[in-house]
Chain A
Amino acid sequence: MNEASLIGLFEATVSFGALLYLAALGEMIAEKAGILNLGVEGMMAMGAVTGFVVALQTGNPWVAFVAAVAAGASVGLLHGFFTVVLGAEQVVSGLSLTILGLGLAAFVGRGSVGQPAGAEMVPVDWGPLSDIPWAGPILFAQSPFVYLAVIAGFVTWFVLWRTRLGLAVRAAGESASTADAAGHSVAGIRLAAVAVGGGLAGASGAYLTLSLTPQWADGIVAGRGWIAVALVIFGAWRPGRVAVGALLFGLTLALKTRLQTFGVDFSPILLSMLPYLLTISVLVVISIRSRNRPSPAPAALGIAYRREER
């Protein structure tokens, strides 16, 4: 086990962590407003394919990025329309969204499979910072998406916990009737939260096709959307803890291909079960602890809201 391979491992940990973090932040925002969106996988696929195809057409990675975010947000809004406006079951609508997103992405990308990328996001140049041993390559030679994820995390924390809007969003997810009584539009908040969440999932997808593995293939998202859903629970619906979880889960992804290089005789497949098993344990612990304190899960998560009918 040498220094270079360790640096490589941590570098990959940070990039996978950022990939998961973007999608998980989006899911967290939607859930904080009370909407469970199991369509992350589909939204990521839409973001990935849109980013790739637009990059092919325009050659501009930033235009491609914006298009990917817009695609993710639109698919997210579809979930919002069905669950918020029509009051459909969030579980069913979200899973259908995954199926729809994967199908649409495959359809849109059917001509682009195997093509070289039209544009890539080049790593940010931090000048002398990138020469610092260890920290340089791990932290200061990353794709812009990594820094975007960090910024998104701070902004999310600030907006949700330090602004009037954030108070309203969290109230909508904890007790929609209270938010309503306080004069907030629960439907508006929830739609916006699902759209923002979709946008972040789209950004995460674009990270795949514009930076991490700059090409398009069916199944490129490869279940990372589900890890993002798990992360939100693992991180107890808090941006900081979700970030820690993202790095931890990112480490398992990074280790998967490297275990053998490090001479560790442990199945990488069993390792990849870890995030899910950890998340289940967290769920159980939360439930045991919430006997005498409220669960960190938004109390109104998954519950459609309509004003009382009389």
Chain B
Amino acid sequence: MTEPSHPIGPTGPSETSGGDAPSVELPAVELRDIWKRFPGVVANAGASLRVRRGSVHAVLGENGAGKSTLMNVLSGVYRPDEGEVRIDGVAHHFRTPADALAAGVGMVHQEFRLVPSFTVAENVVLGACERIVRRPAVESAVEALAGRFGLAIEPDRPVWQLSMGERQRVEILKALWRDARILILDEPTAVLTPGEADELGAVLRHMADDGRTIVFISHKLHEVTGFCDEATVLRGGKTVAASLSVADTDASELAGLMVGASPVITERPPAREAGEIRLQVRDLRCSDDRGLPALNGLDLAVRSGQIVGVAGVAGNGQRELAQAIAGLRHVESGTVHLVGEDRTDATPRQRFADGLGYIPEDRIGVGLAPRLSVTDNAVLRTYGRHRRGPFLDAASATGHCRDLVDRFGVRTGPLDEPIAGLSGGNLQRLLVGRELVGGPRVVVAAQPTRGLDVQGVKAIQDLLVGERDAGAAVLLISEDLDELSTLADRLLVMHAGRIVAEFDPVTAERHAIGEAMIGHAETADDTGGDQ
């Protein structure tokens, strides 16, 4: 699409050009018209990517845009249904990540694959070393490699003692050790502090100058503009902008490309008049599972008869916010008020009794118990009400379950069978139905339509709107901006553990929302610096 703005010297064999390649220089990576379908979802619908050798190339897109799938195709985790993968002009059919690695493509996954009890050096050379491991030699070799790219690391330290940033360096070293010429980093800065992210940027630059090619998946525009050369933007499984020169674009244009022009769905359920405040969160602070700050003084309020949407890029504290309101995460400071009462320290059961319905992000494993029957899952919150002495009244529980299944249109087999056989949509109807059937006064829904088909999405959305119309206060946390624009009466944007902007969903410009999501909120100045 655009010519390379600053080519890096003469590299590689350029004569053996593969047919229709327009430029003289062969791209290090070329993905053409990649299709990948999963049951019920088309993850890549003709996506393409072209990466110049020796460059740092950003791949941008919202959640579900197909970035990860595309990268998994490139790194050999998935085989594409259609399309072509070319490395240095040569077509490849990777069957495993090992195949991809042999062709020089290494991937640093978001979830590290490290052995915590091993030392840095042991992790780096695992699967790729001499038969006899001479520790001092291996350690100095790893140190030398790290030094070459400016990666500060102590090769003899066990990995469990390392920070997230250091662990990531070990992952990068693993790929370099295996001589990866093309390095894919899947949202590498998601786990890093801002300082560490800047260091990573310098390292990537270093590697690119060394002739390696970096594919960098990110949400954060300042990083893209800060240390990437080019950017490709994906939306809906397709490439909407290919190899834009970062020098010729800006954050605002990229944000616009990421979120698209306007929502497809325009029919908005008419808003009702909002009533009293039902859910109030004040100055809430929590840590995530790793003990890092996740909520940094968050405030919000939801009124009766109102859907408040929370938009944000994954990993900015949404999960922790939902858990803290539901009583499933330790609150370090701040308060949660439900229907006017301070319930910061209440148990999940007490909060349910107060009228809080909670639809957790993890449908199976939190919201539903996978090996239990439909009935057992249907009464998870209310089994206390189906008791007769110590006994659980099976007839009453089954009756309740049958009501629920009928009312919410859950398609199931026998009610005493495990829920494992239910489809995603039916599982979610069962879960949402269970939380809504008692007429909750407050509803917290985290990613309630993720992974559902069109019908399932519509059904769940209708239920939430119905609850609002019945007077409930609904907090809807979603990564789907279309959904939020359609349903929310107020739209909040969350970034780095705080609410950084509020929009009127009807009048808001999408690119403004997009910028707020990545920490460029025009409505607030105090948002960039995370901690």
Q: Is A175 a contact partner of B131 (Cβ separation < 8 A)? A: no
Alpha-carbon gap, A163 to B129, bound state (A): 9
- B292 in contact (CB, < 8 A): no
Given known pairs A164-B133, A174-B117, the reply for A183 and B160 (CB within 8 Å) is no
B residues less than 8 Å from A163 (CB atoms): 131-133
- A177 in contact (CB, < 8 A): yes
Q: Is A171 a contact partner of B115 (Cβ separation < 8 A)? A: yes
What residue of chain A has the Cβ atom nearest to residue B101's Cβ?
A183
Residues 161-197 of A, flagged 1 when their CB comes within 8 A of B and 0 if not, give 0111111101100110111011110000000000000
Q: Is B127 a contact partner of A168 (Cβ separation < 8 A)? A: yes
- B128 in contact (CB, < 8 A): yes
Q: Is A299 a contact partner of B132 (Cβ separation < 8 A)? A: no
- A240 in contact (CB, < 8 A): no
Alpha-carbon gap, A177 to B112, bound state (A): 11
Residues 199-257 of B at the A interface (beta carbon under 8 Å): none
- B149 in contact (CB, < 8 A): no
A residues less than 8 Å from B97 (CB atoms): 181
B residues less than 8 Å from A177 (CB atoms): 113
A residues less than 8 Å from B488 (CB atoms): none
Alpha-carbon gap, A168 to B128, bound state (A): 10
- B122 in contact (CB, < 8 A): yes
Closest beta carbon of chain B to A181's beta carbon, Å: 5
For B97, B113, B129, B134, the residue with the greatest tally of chain A CB atoms inside 10 Å of its CB is B113
Alpha-carbon gap, A168 to B131, bound state (A): 11
B residues less than 8 Å from A174 (CB atoms): 115-118
- A293 in contact (CB, < 8 A): yes
Q: Is B126 a contact partner of A167 (Cβ separation < 8 A)? A: yes
What residue of chain A has the Cβ atom nearest to residue B98's Cβ?
A183
- B130 in contact (CB, < 8 A): yes
Q: Which of A167, A170, A178, A299 contacts B125 (CB 8 A)?
A: A167
Alpha-carbon gap, A178 to B125, bound state (A): 12
B residues less than 8 Å from A168 (CB atoms): 126-127
Q: Which of B128, B130, B160 contacts A182 (CB 8 A)?
A: B128
B residues less than 8 Å from A182 (CB atoms): 113, 126-128
Q: Which of B98, B116, B133, B135 contacts A299 (CB 8 A)?
A: B116
- B114 in contact (CB, < 8 A): yes
Given known pairs A167-B122, A167-B125, A293-B160, the reply for A178 and B131 (CB within 8 Å) is no
Q: Which of A167, A175, A293, A294 contacts B133 (CB 8 A)?
A: A167
Q: Is B127 a contact partner of A183 (Cβ separation < 8 A)? A: yes
Closest beta carbon of chain A to B133's beta carbon, Å: 6
Interface of A is mostly: helix
A residues less than 8 Å from B160 (CB atoms): 293-294
A residues less than 8 Å from B126 (CB atoms): 167-168, 171, 178-179, 182
Alpha-carbon gap, A293 to B160, bound state (A): 8
Closest beta carbon of chain A to B364's beta carbon, Å: 14
Closest beta carbon of chain B to A28's beta carbon, Å: 15
Q: Is A171 a contact partner of B118 (Cβ separation < 8 A)? A: yes
What residue of chain A has the Cβ atom nearest to residue B38's Cβ?
A310
Q: Is A164 a contact partner of B131 (Cβ separation < 8 A)? A: yes
Q: Is B116 a contact partner of A165 (Cβ separation < 8 A)? A: no
B residues less than 8 Å from A166 (CB atoms): 133
Residues 273-315 of B, flagged 1 when their CB comes within 8 A of A and 0 if not, give 0000000000000000000000000000000000000000000
What residue of chain A has the Cβ atom nearest to residue B122's Cβ?
A167
B residues less than 8 Å from A184 (CB atoms): 127
Alpha-carbon gap, A164 to B121, bound state (A): 12
Given known pairs A168-B126, A181-B97, A293-B160, the reply for A299 and B117 (CB within 8 Å) is yes
Closest beta carbon of chain A to B128's beta carbon, Å: 7
Closest beta carbon of chain B to A277's beta carbon, Å: 27
Q: Which of B113, B125, B129 contacts A181 (CB 8 A)?
A: B113
Closest beta carbon of chain A to B53's beta carbon, Å: 26
What residue of chain B has the Cβ atom nearest to residue A310's Cβ?
B38
Alpha-carbon gap, A168 to B115, bound state (A): 11
Alpha-carbon gap, A162 to B160, bound state (A): 21
Residues 89-131 of B at the A interface (beta carbon under 8 Å): 97-98, 113-118, 122, 125-131
Residues 197-247 of A at the B interface (beta carbon under 8 Å): none
25 A/B residue pairs, CB under 8 Å, sorted by A: A162-B132, A163-B131, A163-B132, A164-B129, A164-B131, A164-B132, A167-B122, A167-B129, A168-B126, A168-B127, A170-B115, A170-B118, A171-B118, A174-B115, A174-B116, A174-B118, A175-B114, A181-B113, A182-B113, A182-B126, A183-B127, A293-B160, A294-B158, A294-B160, A299-B116
Chain B residues in contact with chain A, CB under 8 A? 97-98, 113-118, 122, 125-135, 158, 160
Chain A residues in contact with chain B, CB under 8 A? 162-168, 170-171, 174-175, 177-179, 181-184, 293-294, 299
- Kindly list 11 other residue pairs between chains A and B, CB separation below 8 angstroms, not including A166-B133, A170-B115, A171-B126: A162-B132, A162-B134, A165-B131, A171-B118, A175-B114, A178-B114, A182-B126, A182-B128, A183-B127, A294-B158, A294-B160
The 5 closest A-B pairs by CB, nearest first: A182-B127, A174-B115, A178-B113, A183-B127, A182-B126
